[in-house]
Each structure stands twice: as C-alpha cells, then as structure tokens.
C-alpha cells in the first residue's frame, strides 16, 4: 500500500534550519535489479549545532546499514518515514545503504513500462516532500545543498541528471556536482531514452523522449530547439546573470503529474507534449509557453528559491508571467497574452472566488500538505496578472532593475517576499508595502463595471465602479485601459481612442476625458488586459459586442470581451442559452484558434453543468452547428478546422457521421483522421453507447502505444454499461496498482451528462468511497483523481447535502476536504443558474 509522506510543518522546518546546514549529498543508485525496488546508497554531509538532535525524511523498504560519523545508527532511529538523529557533531557524515520502492504515482522514482515495446523508463520527481522516497534528505527548500549522483543501470539505458555527465561506461554513470539546489529540485531520468542534442550560445542542449516517440521527437526537435534558443536569448537580454546551471536538457517523460517541472539542468515535461498526431497552433503555442515558463524558473525558483512554501508565488507567479511575456516577445506566438487573457486568467478568477481562496502570498502556510493545495490558479495566474499590473505601474526598466538586484543579492540561496519588495522599492523609489498588502496579502477579486450616462449621441458621464464581495471587501488601485471602438465605413471595427486610467480605492472613478465625446459602439474596460479583475460592460456595449466581435482586429480585445461574456454566465448574470446563441453568431468568423478552442471548451463545460437536460440537448446541437460552420469557413488544414472538428465530435449525436469518419467517408478536405482523432471519435461513440468493449479493444490492438492505452481506459470507463461502470469505479477507489495517469483518465471518463440515471447511485458512493482512495494514493496524484471523480454532472441539492455531510465529518483528509468544498461551490453556482 502506498501512503503519503508525513507532513512537514513550518515550525519544524524553521527549527531544523536553525540547527542544520547541509553541504552535499552523494547519491549512488543501482537500477539493475528486477522487481519493484532499487538500491540507494547515500552519503549526506552536514554541519549542525553540536549535541543537537534532528531528523531527515526517509521512506525505505529495507535498511542494510546506517552510520553517523562512523558509528552505527540504531534501527529504532528509523520511524517508518523519518530518520531521527541525536548527538550531532559540528561536522557530520551520514551514510545509508537501503532498498527503496519504485512508484507508480509520480511521487518519487516513477517506473513506467511502455506498452508499445516493453521498455522500462524511470524519472525522479520528489516535489515538496518526497525526497525521502529516494534517499534520506533534509527535505525543505531553504536547506540547499550540492548533489552528486552516480547510477548503475542496464547497459542499453541512457541516464541524465541535473549535473553534467563526467563518464559513462558499461552501465556506470558518474555526474558532476551541481550548484547548490533545494532537495525538491533534484532529478534524474533513466531508460532507453532517445536523445537529440544541439548547442546555443555556449550552452549544451539536449532533448530526451521514449524510444517509441523517437521519430516524433526528431521531427519536432527543430521547433523545440528554436523556442529554447529564442527564450534563452530573451532571458539573457532581461537578466544580468546568464543561465546559471551549465547544460540545458529537456526530457519528455511518461505519466508526469505536472505539465512540466523546472529541475535545473534537466527540465522534465509530460510526454504528451511530443504529439504523434496533428495538433493546432494553440497546442504548439502551449508547448512554447511551457518551455518559456520552465526556463523562467531557472532564475525564479532554482537560482533564487523561496525560503518556505508561503512564498510559492515567487516561483509560479513569476514563471507564469514571464512564460507568457517571453513567448509573446521572442517566438512566433506573438498572441500569447491573448491566450493568457482567455485561458489562464479564467483559471485564476475561478479559483479566487471559491471557498478555498487564499492570498497570492499568504502570511502563513502551516505545512507541506497545505502548500500542495496552493498550486492553483491563484499562485499561478492571479499572481501573474498581478505582476503584469505591477509592471504597467512601475515601468519595465524599473521592474527589471529590481529583479536583477534581487538575483545578485540571493543567487544560489533563498529569499522572501520582503526581500523582493525591498529590491523593487529600491529600484523604483516607491514604498511597495501598501501595494503588496492590497494585491498580495488579501484574497478574492474586484469587479469593474462601466457606468454610462448619455446626452443624446455624446457621453454625459462615464465612470468605472469597483466592487468587492462582502466577505472580502478590499478595493484596490487599478491601472487600466479604456478603449472606444466604432465600426468604420469598410465594416471593420476600429479603435477610436484608448485612455489609460488609474482607479483609486474610493469605488467610483469618473473618466472626465470622455465627457462630451461621441458615444462609441463599444466601450471596453481593461482594454489591453493590464489588470486582474472581473469586467462588466455597460448594457449598450454588451448588447453590441457579439455583432462587433467578427470584425474586431485586435485579438486581445476580443479575448477580454469573450472572457467578460463567459464570466457573466458563470456568475449567473446571463443565461447559458444566450451564451450559446452568441457563440453561434460570432465564433465562426474568429481568426484566432486559441479563442476558438477556449470559447468552445468553456461553453461546453457551462452547458453540461448549467443547462437543464432539455436545454442541454438543444445547446449541444447549436455548438455542433457552430463547429460545422467553422469547418466550412476556414481553409483546409487550418488549425481552426482541427479545433472545430474536435468540438464537433464532442457535441454531436450524429453517430452515423462519426462512424463514417472512422471509415474515411465524408471527411472534410484537409482533416486527417489520425490516431488521436480516431480515439476521440471512439470515445464519443462509447459515451453514446454506440460501441461495445470489443470495438475499444480492437482500436487498442490497432494502436498499442502509451496514448492508445490511456485512451482505452478512458473509453472503457465512459461506456453506459453497469458492469463497465462498476469496474471503473473499483479501479478508481481501490486499485493501487493502477498508475497515476491511468487512474486519472479512468476518473475523467467515468462521469458523463448523457448517463445521469445510470450514474446517480455513484454520487453517494463518491462520498463514502473516496476516503479509501486517499489511503492508497497521495499528493498531486490523489488530488487529480479526487477532482476528476467528483459527481459534477449530478447537479442536485441531494449531491450538495452529501457534500455537506462529508465536509462536517471530523478527520476528513485535507485534499478531499478542499476538493469537495470547491466542487460543491461550483454546484451551487450551477443550481442557481438552472433556477
């Protein structure tokens, strides 16, 4: 049974840091054995207060030997997940030889067997508090150390780590010591990985992927290297300290829990980012953004690391902001801020309005369990949007000067919010403590509404009204753009003028410059998307927007409008049926594929939850019509064609058409029904009960790959068959042998709005059975499954009552408590919208 590591509290971390200074770890791993274990021999050298006692995180299967300063450590010192040490000297050397267990949940040394060829692949992910699953470690971010790694592996394997390769001979790999890094940033990959290498500006580059993906990696390597080079050059233009970790390797690993992780010298990505089928330009932009995001972490997180998890935003908010910025400034994906406005900010806004909301920079994160839960839209997207606002306020030159001072002061060490504010205050000559209090230390979001009074065809008064929720009454200073848009004689919608406005905390700001000006067809608040807020247009602009969208050239302005429209539906201010009609009217003319994808996806999600079953059927038909119009309107092979085809497959009930596409009948010119599109069609047919298990197995036999295996488990769980549902549910809650990725995809396939009657009994079972899942899974894997398995499609007061019962039960696991709390709030919104 796999259980989570014990929580490390902040109080424990502070005390341990006052006693210990870690010098280095020498880790020697033997990966040649059979079975589900490996051997780990670790030498840990550290200084301590003489006579003190402390502990290391450590979770072995079996211990062969342990010595401290040459003396045997008693077996009783190992308590199952911690190694307790007493009588420390000023200089200490701990030597441990132990057997450790491979993981299948992405929380330790993860082992994966590729169904395509039977090859075994490993990657190390010891994020937050999992280092003890590989070696005994002082596992907290402010106890940085040098890592030196040696590995014995099968001779045909490739091994890579954070450090540079010193030698590789007959399966024995030796790596150079790293710079000082935190334990959670130590990684390695091992297996018959395929490699592609290059060099840029004196920096060795490498890409790694499974052998089964070799041809795809080779084909995509030029684009990945191009993005990597462009991003490195842009960061070197911004930052005075060059990339600080020697080589820059990027590995694409199977079943990775994150999209990617910023390990210095060896960034690891989920290997779905090496697609084997056709993708849209927005898919490619997403990969470019992730590459830039992880590269930003080499400075924010790796070079300078937070002292404790309450400053997580110093990692993620900066990487999120710089990822979008560098993608837009340095690569061909110049509309990356449009994606941010449509997609990432919506994630932040939704997280910020749930019961679990928290400040971007909380004053306290009590333990590592709470830290894990804060990896959300607030720490990423809200923080990034807040930084974008800060840059607009301070100016870019001042902002970058402060960052460079910060890097110089804390390179290879740790820092806090206070440290960063000090550097920015010095560079700007402004005291930023008040700004930080309002923007970083207080939760929730403001709403900005345009309040317009007209005098015939001119504005008598235009004001921006700022409000805040009663429970979080903070008003904030905002710097925004206000754009006036009119339709030109040629039919295009053009910007007449844009006004930069500073909103104070009074709650109402009059835009004196607009008095007496002709009324615009569209008055757009937050034009340029400079601030983080919910935007509501005045009634005339809101009514005109859908008709103006097709002829408005500025994709970022269109994104701000669509985000406002969608958010009004989320809040129950506009009906979902109206949204679907607006999508049908405006989206077929949309030129930006990211907007096409995000609007269709967000609308589909709202239709599934906010529409009654009767309205849902008609709404899905309208979404299918929208997709059909897009397919007909765009050039063959255009990214929007593929995006529309995906949406059509997910919305249609025309099973004859879907079967025809599988056999090549009436497929639109330019659209290829490749492996992944075949699976998407198969999945939809499974949901609709149009195929049996034998068809899924035949498709898997046709595509015996990692992707095929993942699609197959999702399709099996999606079938409206009682036996299939019971098997899927048992796998979700009780099968610890199922890997993290397969368990999450089984959960994702299980709940289908078309199957409410069949699934109704499982709503109650979620609340009775899910605690058992938390006993066999931990960390991010457990969180993802708990979210995906929630009965969100059973929108009823009874589901809410079941949720209330679990939330009031003492001892509920914190992960499950937060998932249920937030999902129940989403259901509250859905019920209100239906009413």
Task: Please list the rounded mean pLDDT of every run of 10 residues in the chain (835 residues).
Answer: 68 97 98 95 98 97 97 94 97 98 95 96 95 97 98 97 97 98 98 98 98 98 98 98 98 95 98 97 98 98 96 95 98 97 95 96 92 92 97 96 97 96 96 96 97 96 97 97 96 95 96 96 97 97 95 97 96 95 96 97 96 93 97 96 98 97 96 97 98 97 96 98 97 94 96 96 97 91 95 97 97 95 97 92
Contact of 619 with 595, CB cutoff 8 Å? no
Q: Residue 321 is inside which H or E element, if any? A: helix 313-330
Distance of CA 835 to the CA centre of its chain: 33
Structural contact between residues 521 and 552, judged by C-beta atoms closer than 8 angstroms: no
**Beta bridge pairs of residue 336:** none
Domain residue ranges of the chain, discontinuous segments joined by +:
1-189
Token reading at 611: 């529409």
Question: Does the CA dihedral 281-346-374-110 come out positive or negative?
Answer: negative
- Sign, CA torsion 822/825/831/833: negative
Question: Rounded to an integer, what distance in angstroms lies between the CA atom of residue 130 and that of residue 647?
Answer: 39
184 three-class SS: helix
Place of tokens 């001979």: 169
Pairing between strand 508-510 and 304-306? unpaired
Q: Is the domain 1-189 a CATH 1.10.730.10 member? A: no
Q: How far apart are CA 135 and CA 444, in angstroms?
A: 40
Nearest to 594 by CA among 349, 350, 344, 376: 344
Q: Tell me the C-alpha distance between 442 and 505, whole Å.
A: 14
Q: Could you tell me how many residues make up the chain? A: 835
Angle at the Cα of 221 from the Cα atoms of 323 and 635, rounded to 5 degrees: 80
How many other C-beta atoms are found inside a 10 Å radius of the C-beta of residue 612?
13
What's the confidence (pLDDT) of residue 1? 37
Rounded Cα distance between 29 and 396, Å, is 46
Q: Determine how many CB atoms are found less than 10 A away from the CB of residue 470.
A: 6
- Distance in angstroms (rounded) separating the CA atoms of residues 802 and 766: 9
Closest alpha carbon to 310 in 249, 364, 380 = 364
CA dist 66 and 96 (Å) reads: 4
Question: On the CB side of 437, how many CA atoms lie within 13 Å of its CA?
Answer: 6
Q: Spell 100-110 as b/e; 16+ CB within 10 A means b.
A: bbbbbbbbbbb
Q: What are the distances in angstroms from CA 71 to CA 65, 66, 122? A: 11, 8, 34
Nearest Cα to 332, choosing from 288, 294, 296, 291?
288
Q: What is the pLDDT of residue 34?
A: 86
The three-class DSSP label of residue 572 is: coil
CA-based max dimension of the chain? 91
455/462 Cα distance (integer angstroms): 11
Locate the DSSP E strands across 396-457.
413-415, 447-455
**C-alpha dist (Å) from residue 279 to 275, 638, 670, 671:** 7, 10, 13, 11
Q: Which residues are catalytic?
A: 294
Beta-sheet pairing, 146-152 with 172-175: antiparallel
Distance CA 601, CA 550 (A): 19
**CA atoms within 13 Å, Cβ hemisphere of 261:** 24
Q: What is the pLDDT of residue 685?
A: 98
Q: HSE on the CB side for 279, CA within 13 Å?
A: 15
Q: What is the rounded distance in angstroms from the CA atom of residue 375 to the CA atom of residue 379? A: 6
Tokens 């990617």 -> residue: 260
Cα–Cα distances (Å) from 744 to 257, 601, 739, 761, 790, in that order, read 10, 20, 9, 20, 11
- Cβ neighbors of 76 (< 8 A, separation 6 or more) are none
* Contact yes or no for 44/56 (Cβ under 8 A): yes
* Residue 808 contacts residue 591 (beta carbons within 8 Å): no
Cα atoms in the 13 Å half-sphere on the side-chain side of 813: 25
Ranges of H-type helices in 638-674: 639-651, 655-662
Tally Cβ neighbours within 10 Å of residue 260: 21
Of the candidates 451, 448, 449, 423, the one whose C-alpha atom is nearest the C-alpha of residue 436 is 423
Cβ atoms within 10 Å of 33's Cβ, excluding its own: 11
């Amino acid at each position: 049974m796999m259980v989570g590591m014990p929580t490390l509290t902040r109080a424990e971390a502070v005390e341990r840091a006052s006693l210990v200074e870690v010098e280095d770890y020498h880790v020697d791993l033997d990966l040649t054995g059979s079975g589900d274990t490996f051997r780990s021999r670790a030498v840990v050298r550290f200084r301590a207060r003489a006579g003190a006692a402390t502990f290391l995180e450590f979770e072995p299967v079996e211990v062969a030997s342990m010595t401290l300063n040459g003396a045997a450590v008693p077996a009783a010192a190992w308590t199952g997940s911690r190694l307790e040490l007493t009588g420390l000297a000023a200089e200490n050397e701990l030597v441990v030889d132990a057997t450790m267990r491979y993981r299948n949940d992405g929380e330790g040394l993860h082992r994966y067997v590729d169904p395509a060829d039977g090859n075994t692949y490993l990657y190390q992910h010891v994020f937050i508090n999992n280092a003890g699953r590989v070696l005994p470690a002082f596992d907290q971010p402010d106890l940085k150390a040098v890592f030196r790694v040696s590995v014995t592996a099968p001779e045909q394997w490739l091994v890579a780590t954070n450090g540079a390769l010193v030698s590789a001979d007959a399966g024995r790999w030796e790596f150079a010591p790293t710079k000082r890094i935190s334990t959670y940033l130590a990684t390695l990959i091992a297996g018959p990985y395929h490699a592609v290498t290059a060099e840029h500006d004196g920096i060795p580059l490498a890409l790694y992927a499974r052998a089964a993906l070799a041809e795809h990696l080779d084909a995509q390597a030029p684009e990945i290297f191009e993005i990597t080079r462009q991003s490195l050059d842009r960061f070197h233009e911004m930052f005075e300290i060059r990339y600080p970790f020697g080589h820059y390797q990027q590995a694409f690993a199977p079943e990775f829990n994150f999209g990617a992780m910023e390990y210095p010298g060896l960034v690891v990505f989920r290997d779905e980012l090496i697609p084997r089928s056709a993708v849209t330009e927005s898919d490619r932009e997403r990969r470019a953004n992730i590459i830039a995001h992880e590269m930003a972490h080499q400075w924010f997180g790796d070079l300078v690391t937070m002292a404790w998890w309450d400053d997580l935003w110093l990692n993620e908010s900066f990487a999120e902001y710089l990822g979008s910025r560098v993608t837009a400034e340095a690569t061909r994906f110049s509309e990356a801020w449009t994606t941010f406005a449509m997609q990432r900010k919506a994630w932040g806004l939704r997280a910020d309005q749930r019961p679990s909301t928290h400040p971007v920079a909380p004053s306290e994160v009590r333990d590592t369990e709470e830290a894990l839960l804060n990896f959300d839209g607030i720490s990423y997207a809200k923080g990034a949007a807040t930084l974008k606002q800060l840059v607009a306020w301070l100016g870019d030159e001042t902002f970058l000067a402060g960052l460079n001072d910060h890097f110089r002061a804390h390179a290879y060490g740790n820092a806090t919010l206070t440290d960063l504010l000090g550097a920015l205050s010095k560079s700007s000559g402004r005291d930023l403590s008040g700004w930080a209090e309002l923007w970083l230390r207080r939760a929730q979001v403001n709403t900005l509404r345009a309040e317009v009074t007209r005098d015939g065809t001119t504005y008598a008064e235009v004001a921006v009204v700022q409000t805040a929720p009663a429970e979080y009454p903070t008003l904030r200073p905002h710097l925004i753009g206000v754009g006036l848009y009119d339709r030109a004689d040629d039919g295009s919608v053009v910007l007449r003028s844009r006004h930069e406005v500073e909103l104070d905390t009074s709650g109402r700001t009059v835009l004196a410059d607009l008095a007496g000006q002709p009324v615009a067809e569209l008055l757009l608040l937050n034009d340029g998307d400079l601030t983080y807020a919910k935007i509501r247009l005045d009634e005339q602009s809101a009514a005109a927007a859908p008709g103006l969208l097709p002829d408005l050239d500025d994709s970022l302005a269109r994104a701000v409008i669509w985000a406002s429209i969608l958010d009004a539906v989320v809040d129950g201010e506009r009906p979902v049926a109206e949204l679907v009609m607006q999508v049908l009217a405006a989206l077929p003319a949309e030129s930006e594929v990211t907007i096409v994808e995000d609007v269709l996806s967000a609308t589909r999600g709202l239709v599934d939850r906010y529409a009654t079953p009767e309205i849902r059927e008609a709404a899905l038909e309208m979404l299918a019509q929208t997709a059909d119009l897009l397919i007909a309107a765009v050039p063959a092979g255009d990214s929007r064609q593929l995006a529309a085809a995906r949406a059509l497959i997910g919305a249609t009930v025309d099973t004859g058409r879907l079967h025809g596409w599988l056999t090549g009948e009436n497929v639109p010119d330019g659209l290829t029904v490749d492996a992944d599109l075949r699976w998407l069609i198969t999945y939809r047919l499974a949901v609709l009960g149009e195929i049996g298990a034998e068809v899924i197995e035949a498709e898997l036999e046709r595509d015996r790959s990692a992707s095929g295996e993942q699609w197959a488990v999702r399709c099996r769980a999606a079938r409206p068959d009682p036996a299939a549902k019971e098997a899927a549910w048992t796998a979700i809650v009780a099968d610890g042998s199922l890997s993290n990725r397969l368990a999450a995809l089984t959960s994702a396939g299980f709940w289908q709005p078309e199957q409410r009657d069949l699934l109704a009994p499982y709503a109650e079972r979620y609340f009775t059975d899910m605690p058992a899942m938390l006993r066999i899974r931990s960390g991010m894997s457990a969180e993802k499954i708990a979210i995906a398995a929630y009965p969100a499609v059973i929108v009823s007061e009874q589901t809410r009552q079941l949720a209330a019962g679990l939330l009031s039960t003492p001892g509920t696991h914190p992960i499950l408590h937060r998932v249920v709390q937030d999902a129940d709030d989403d259901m509250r919104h859905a019920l209100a919208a239906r009413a």
